Amino acid sequence: MRLVVPFPSGPADLLGRLYAPRMSELLGRPVIVENRSGATGTIGADMVAKAPPDGNTILFTVDLPLVMAPALFRTPYDPRTAFAPIAAVGETMQLIVVHPSVGARSIDELVALARARPGQLTFASAGNASPGHVCGEMLNARLAIQMTHVPYRGAGPASQALVAGEVSLFCGPITQTLPFMTAGRLVGLAVTGDRASPLVPGMPVLAERFPGFVVSNWYGFMSPAGTPAATLAPIVQALRRIVAEREIRDRLTGLGVDALFLEGAALGQRVDVDLSRWSRVISQTGVKAE
């Protein structure tokens, strides 16, 4: 089995290589990770969409090429019909952090400062149309404030820029931002999932204050559309077992990923809901791809 990861080294690749050995053991066949990166993951996703529906070529990806890229530009596949959803196995949310010099210790204090200094506060992102960019523009729209976007080449550089005081705020992956917050070099304001994060106990959930304000990403397995259910059944069973294993869950936590299991139709519904949500948000905020 080829497990196509449509990104280079990074979270999706790490998770793919975490799952592949256990899948191989449980399925009794080699599972080889193959990186096919480019165009926000759409190159690798398109390759899988066009592969024979025989269970030998599987996509493992963060949700970006399935729900965000199609909301930003025309993709060579329709994410609602080109794939047979297998299972989602993990989810991450963002942590909103500010540099201590900003002086905000809560979302309310951030709003007061931003309204007093329109356009002077800045927010970093991992690049145009990245989750952090969309999150920052959502903050501008939902909180009725005006912060200026400063894109960087990746979440790592964006985090470092915030720590250095080059920018005011970053809505970034918990794994990138939490160590700096724990060390007192950044101040956490809220998480952006639809629930509290066990990785940041007690951190406010922005969606509880602003319903619908959710910026999270799931990781999942997809097969080409038309793959027989009988072919996918043993893969689903293997993934359900793997996600339940304590060692795997501990590794996920270490990577800043919450364990999740959405099977088949439930994952297909999540694709449909998220694609509609991101299309609406991107239209409202005016975010554009590079």
Whether pTM > 0.75 for this model: the answer is: yes
pLDDT (average), residues 120-124:
97
Summarised one tens digit per residue, pLDDT across range 4-26 is 999 988 889 999 999 999 999 99
Q: Which residues does 140 contact at the CB level (< 8 Å), separation at least 6? A: 146, 147, 285
Tell me which residue of 34, 5, 185 sits closest to 98, measured CA to CA.
185
- pLDDT tops 90 at residue 136: yes
198 has a pLDDT exceeding 90: no
Domains of the chain and CATH, by start:
2-91+217-285 (3.40.190.150), 93-209 (3.40.190.10)
How high is the pLDDT of residue 25? 98
Measured between alpha carbons, how far is 229 from 208 in angstroms, rounded to an integer?
38
CA atoms within 13 A on the CB side of 33: 22
**The pair of three-digit structure tokens given for residue 97, joined into one six-digit string:** 């952090």
Model pLDDT for residues 165-176, shown as the tens digit of each residue: 999 999 998 888
Predicted confidence (pLDDT) at residue 199 exceeds the cutoff of 90: no
Q: How far is CA 52 from CA 48, 128, 223, 224, 230, in A?
A: 8, 34, 9, 7, 15
Handedness of CA 108, 111, 115, 117 (dihedral sign): positive
Q: What is the mean pLDDT of residues 114-134?
A: 93
Q: Tokens 């918990």: give the residue.
A: 174
- Cβ 161 vs Cβ 153: under 8 Å: no
- 47 pLDDT higher than 80: yes
Looking at residue 72, its pLDDT comes to: 93
- Tokens 């629930």 — which residue? 195
pLDDT at residue 114, as a whole number:
97
According to the 3-state scheme, what is the secondary structure of 78-121? CCCCCEEEEEEEEEEEEEEEECHHHCCCCHHHHHHHHHHCCCCC
Give me the pLDDT at residue 290, please: 66
**Residue 3 pLDDT class (50, 70, 90 cuts):** very high
Average pLDDT for 192-217: 91
The dihedral of CA 183, 187, 192, 195: what is its sign? positive
Residues in the chain: 290
pLDDT > 70 fraction of the chain, expressed in percent and rounded: 100
- Would you say residue 127 has pLDDT above 90? no
The reported pLDDT for the residue numbered 224 is 98
pLDDT over 80 at 117, yes or no: yes
> To 10 degrees, the CA torsion angle through 159, 160, 163, 166?
-100
- What does the alpha-carbon distance between residue 20 and residue 169 come to, in Å, rounded to a whole number? 36
* pLDDT at 255 (0 to 100): 86
pLDDT of residue 139: 96
